[in-house]
């Protein structure tokens, strides 16, 4: 099987097309593309873990894993079919490199908290709509009070929460004791800087703003 | 000493003796298990409690998670289904309160549905101790593997411990005798109810995976009664499946389905549900009469 080792950011759209057969990509997948690339290409160190809590629109994630050689390119064919390990929500038991199965919203942050409590550095991707789920806030509150500085959450904010987040998502995290910033979700340098900025005694929230 | 008090002692000891063990709490029990670097009290946040346990399991730890039955099993049910089950991670869930130990607290603190709810998910070992010494053994076994284990502690108790991880015949009647399978703390009331009956009484504490082979070996007649201390019928399907190739009748006793709006003593609840010796005896007599009328 072909393991890709030389593919780059510019190859991702073609890999997504290989998944879906469609030149025009699902908005929920496109919204995470830049963040995922920066994280895997520039931020994650040996031993770090990435949890895709927002399991919706995983074609960017699968394309990235293929580009980085974590899964063979051939797996991209047959996306969503009965015998394919790649479904519309990822399953950790089926896909190498996938740390958690996700799809039902609001689970990844709590699992990440458990890992960070015993010393792991963990990055979690959630969506602004996903934050509607109250379970997220149990984790946000506790992580802030416990000062879990090994935890970084990226909120991909594509304004999909039905009732919005008046005052900005970052203000909610800041109130709970997080270091919270908002960056342009398409700006790789800004994303990299925000994701690499660990703050002693505080978990980090990076709101990556992505507008259609 | 109650199962709950003993559990707190054993959990505290396990933290110091086994470096893989971690304890995750949502305030309940936090005053009873002394602080330790791997005792995590997340506050009154039960969804987080289960998610944290899953994260610890991903890191190779053996999490013990504890709360009142409804707050451990029902409130974070999807976290149990997905964070533990779907992720294929192990944990030891230890509840207390059982079906109606919290009798004065009312419906909000009672969860007779717990076993049926958890049994609807794949991969769980479900332990229903009837004596404090049985609960000790269950915890020790659970800490020795990486399975998904639920241990359901209760204030109800039998006089003596029996290892019920496999079906064990406690009293043997004739070959045609009524067969009564008592689960956990229902054994002593069952023994009292059947004292002067031709009945074989068997005991089981591990209800999942269910000991079908043990049941097939022990049942000699046709009339089978299952007595469970939680929602009636929770293991009826297991009994029926085990005996599916044999003509038999099954009576499944337990807490009836319904909104039960009473406080008072747990003994009053047990009696109202027909699970004291008198109530069980009455059900057995009705079952036997109904069988004769069919002959």
Residues 6 or more apart whose CB falls under 8 angstroms from that of A101 comprise: A55, A89, A90, A91, A92, A93, B82, B86, B87
The architecture CATH gives domain B3-153: 3-Layer(aba) Sandwich (3.40)
Do A40 and A7 form a contact (C-beta atoms < 8 A)? no
Of B22, B56, B82, which has the smallest distance from its Cβ to A107's Cβ?
B82
Same fold, B3-153 and B168-294: yes
What is the pLDDT of chain B when averaged over all its residues? Answer: 97
Domain membership flag for residue A78: no
- pLDDT at residue A27, rounded to an integer: 72
3-state secondary structure of B121: coil
Per the structure, the count of domains in chain A is 1
- CA diameter of chain B: 66
Residue A11 lies in a domain: no
What pLDDT, in 10s, does the model give residues B246-276?
Answer: 999 999 999 999 999 999 999 999 999 999 9
Q: Which residues of A touch B58 (CB under 8 A)?
A: 99-100, 111, 114-115
Of B22, B43, B88, Cβ closest to residue A93: B88
Segments making up each domain of chain B, as ranges = 3-153, 168-294
- The parent domain of residue A132 ranges over 27-56+96-209
Alpha-carbon distance of A207 to A170, in angstroms, equals 7
Q: Which two tokens stand for residue A39?
A: 């994280």
- Which A residues, 13 through 52, put their C-beta within 8 Å of a C-beta on chain B? none
Does A4 fall in a domain?
A: no
CATH of the domain at A141: 3.40.50.970
In chain A, which stretches have pLDDT less than 50?
none
Q: Each residue of B78-131: pLDDT tens digit?
A: 999 999 999 999 999 999 999 999 999 999 999 999 999 999 999 999 999 999
Distances (CA, A) of A199 to A141, A151, A180, A204: 17, 10, 10, 7
The highest-level CATH class for domain B168-294 is alpha beta
A104 at B interface, C-beta within 8 A: yes
B56·A109 Cβ contact <8 A: no
Domain annotation covers residue A41: yes
Partners of B67 in beta bridges:
B95
Nearest to B53 among A101, A114, A138 (CB): A114
CB atoms within 10 A of CB A30: 19
A139 interfacial to chain B (CB closer than 8 Å): yes
Quote the pLDDT of residue B36.
Answer: 98
Could you tell me if residue A177 is inside a domain?
yes
CB–CB contact B51 A92 (8 Å): no
Alpha-carbon gap: A14 to the closest alpha carbon of chain B (Å): 30
pLDDT band at B194 (very low <50, low <70, confident <90, very high): very high
Alpha helices in B199-276 (DSSP H): 212-218, 236-242, 266-272
């Amino acid at each position: 099987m072909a393991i890709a080792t030389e593919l780059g950011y510019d190859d991702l759209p073609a890999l997504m097309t290989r998944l879906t057969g469609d030149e025009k990509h699902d908005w929920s997948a496109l919204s995470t593309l830049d963040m995922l690339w920066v994280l895997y290409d520039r931020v994650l160190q040996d031993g770090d873990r990435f949890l895709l809590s927002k399991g919706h629109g995983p074609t960017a994630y699968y394309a990235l894993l293929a580009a980085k050689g974590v899964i063979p390119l051939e797996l991209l064919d047959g996306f969503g079919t009965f015998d394919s390990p790649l479904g519309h929500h990822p399953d950790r038991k089926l896909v190498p490199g996938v740390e958690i199965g996700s799809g039902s919203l609001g689970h990844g942050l709590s699992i990440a908290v458990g890992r960070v409590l015993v010393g792991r550095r963990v990055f979690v991707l959630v969506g602004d709509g996903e934050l509607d789920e109250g379970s997220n806030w149990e984790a946000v509150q506790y992580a802030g009070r416990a000062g879990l500085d090994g935890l970084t959450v990226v909120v991909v904010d594509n304004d999909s929460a039905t009732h919005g987040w008046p005052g900005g998502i970052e203000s909610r995290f800041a109130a709970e004791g997080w270091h919270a910033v908002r960056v342009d979700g398409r700006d790789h340098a800004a994303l990299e800087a925000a994701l690499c900025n660990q703050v002693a005694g505080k978990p980090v929230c990076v709101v990556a703003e992505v507008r259609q | 000493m109650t199962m709950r008090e003993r559990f707190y002692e054993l959990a505290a000891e396990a933290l110091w003796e086994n470096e893989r063990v971690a304890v995750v709490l949502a305030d309940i029990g936090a005053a009873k298990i002394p602080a330790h670097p791997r005792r995590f009290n997340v506050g009154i946040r039960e969804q987080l409690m289960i998610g944290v346990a899953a994260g610890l399991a991903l890191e190779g730890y053996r999490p013990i998670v504890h709360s009142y039955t409804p707050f451990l099993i029902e409130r974070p049910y999807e976290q149990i289904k997905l964070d533990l089950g779907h992720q294929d991670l192990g944990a030891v869930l230890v509840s207390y309160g059982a079906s109606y130990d919290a009798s004065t607290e009312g419906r909000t603190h009672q969860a007779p549905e717990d076993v049926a709810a958890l049994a609807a998910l794949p991969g769980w070992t479900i332990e229903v101790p009837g004596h404090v010494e049985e609960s000790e053994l269950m915890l020790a076994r659970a800490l020795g593997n990486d399975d998904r284990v639920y241990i359901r502690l209760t204030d109800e108790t039998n006089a003596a411990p029996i290892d019920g991880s496999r079906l064990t015949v406690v009293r043997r009647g004739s070959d045609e005798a009524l067969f009564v399978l008592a689960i956990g703390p229902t054994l002593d009331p069952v023994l009292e109810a059947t004292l002067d009956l031709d009945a074989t009484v068997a005991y089981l504490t591990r209800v999942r995976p269910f000991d079908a082979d043990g049941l097939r070996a022990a049942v000699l007649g046709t009339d089978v009664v299952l007595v469970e201390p939680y929602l009636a019928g929770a293991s009826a399907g297991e009994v029926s499946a085990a005996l599916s190739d044999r003509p038999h009748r099954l009576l499944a006793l337990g807490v009836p389905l319904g909104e039960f709006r009473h406080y008072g003593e747990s003994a009053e609840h047990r009696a109202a549900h027909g699970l004291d010796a008198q109530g069980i005896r009455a059900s057995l007599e009705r079952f036997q009469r109904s069988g004769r009328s069919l002959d």
